[in-house]
Amino acid sequence: MPDTSIFTPHGKHLIAGKWVSHSATFSSDPAHGAAHAFSVGTPDLVDQACKAAEEAFWSFGYSSREDRAAFLEAIGDELEARGDHITEIGTQETGLPEARLQGERGRTVGQLRLFADHIRAGEYLDRRHDPAMPDRQPLPRPDLKVVQRPIGPVAVFGASNFPLAFSTLGGDTASALAAGCPVVVKGHSAHPGVAEINAEAIHAAIQSTGMNPGVFSLIQGGKRDVGTALVEHPLIKAVGFTGSLGGGRALFDLCAARPEPIPFFGELGSVNPMFLLPDAVANRGAEIAKGWAGSLTMGAGQFCTNPGISVVIASPEADAFVEAARAALAEVNAQTMLTDGIASAYREGRDRVAGTAGVQEVLTTTCDMRNATPYLFATTGKDWLANEELGEEVFGPLGLIVRVEDMDEMLAVARSMQGQLTAALHMDDSDTDAARLLMPILERKAGRLLANGFATGVEVCDAMVHGGPYPASTNFGATSVGTLAIRRFLRPVCYQNLPDALLPGDLA
């Protein structure tokens, strides 16, 4: 009998409840283990999926919160039931360790259950009611009620660095489904096997809860024309994306150029600066350096919240911080990156930083193939301000220390920063006055501000903001993590003098 404990992908697309394929295939490129063949997506499949999603919206978009909550919970249960297979093929495709994938699966399931509880409570609907005032002078006021309503089918592009939490069944998909919006996913070619298992979990939940099968479709592979067809399809009403600045900006421009422009919720890039204040550096610089090294190299530096920049005022204590960071990073071994392309881009970013005027090498290593080793560079505040490219993200375990002359130059460096997902202050109580000077600047630059911590690790909860001014994201008023993410796929509708029999159930 065959060993059923080993997962072998069938390589098909899921389109409105049916597994379909074409003769053209592409091969996965695993870090280890066997490669597998997957059917190549086409614009025709996109059209089928989008039409099925629109048809499903007429029931799913008007379903009860309880039914959608039960659907989300069923997906979580199905995902947990496939945990061993996800870990097995996920480690092969991405090179990520088992513990990381198991933790990410737990986060993904927890997110689905959190969203289920959140929509049951109904607070996200922001319901408001202004009762009629027929006797008001000089004019009467009508009865007015408002509630958030789902916008329609949503396109989601899977991310390379989180095969679960930001991909097929990640935050974009989960929040769109919670809102009542069907989803069409363009799977990422870095982990098509994991995407297939995720789709199987959703498919099983659709069947067990009686949802319209068009509520979810997965299209694997395909050239640029597949992504373009998905974004430009007239039935798609919003796009969720996590990825590179170049790729995200191209899709953003497509959304804006449509006959009917639609919102593009893209997370594109961030260097997540840390500002180290003098007394904190003097009192515990070595501790901060060690923590920074751990955060910088976590997951081979392939986190969107990777803290790539440390800004510190020049002093002997700052020199000791630099040396402590160098020593901590020197102990980190090579790690496997998610894809050959990401590894190549990391080396290109390293060379770009190393070749910039005014940059000194603090720690150099050797990495090749799909491996990544840490690098550490340093520059002055003056050279940072003169070289705008130093503020561009390098996706991987590369750190840059910016030594500024004084607090005024630290403020100037902060003002020069582009939009960020996060910004961190390392401070002692005696640094409060200096921190207070930075706060108005950092609030304008980042979606999440931290004190005495490291940004890697994004809690899935009500208060989380994972977004920020461009280029961290394309919509500074939104978040892709936490329950507030659901609001991206809703719009307010006002009902004037409508009888209760015609109002949505959420207003009853």
Query: Residues with catalytic annotation?
Result: 267, 304
Other Cβ atoms within 10 Å of 461 Cβ, number: 13
Tokens standing for residue 191: 């982990």
Q: State how far the Cα of 274 lies from the Cα of 394, in Å rounded to an integer.
A: 16
DSSP 3-state assignment of 129?
strand
User: Residue 154 in contact with residue 236, Cβ under 8 Å?
Assistant: yes
> Measured between alpha carbons, how far is 57 from 150 in angstroms, rounded to an integer?
9
Buried b (16+ CB within 10 A) or exposed e, 44-80: ebbebbbbbbbbbbebbbebebeebbbbbbbbbbbbe
Query: What whole-number distance in Å separates Cα of residue 195 and Cα of residue 158?
Result: 9
Tokens representing residue 203 in the block: 């498919």
Give just the sign of the alpha carbon dihedral 197, 200, 202, 204: negative
Return d(Cα 105, Cα 79) in angstroms, integer: 8
Among the listed residues 412, 473, 423, the one whose alpha carbon sits nearest the alpha carbon of residue 445: 423
How crowded is residue 275: how many other Cβ atoms within 10 Å of its Cβ?
27
Residue 389: CB atoms within 10 A of its CB come to 9
**Residue (of 115, 100, 122) closest to 171 by Cα position:** 115
Query: DSSP letters of 429-479?
Result: GGGHHHHHHHHHHHHHHEEEEEESS-S-S---SSS-----TTTTBS-TT--
Please give the Cα distance from 372 to 381 (Å, whole number): 28
Which residue from 226, 225, 255, 229 is spatially nearest to 240, judged by alpha carbons? 255
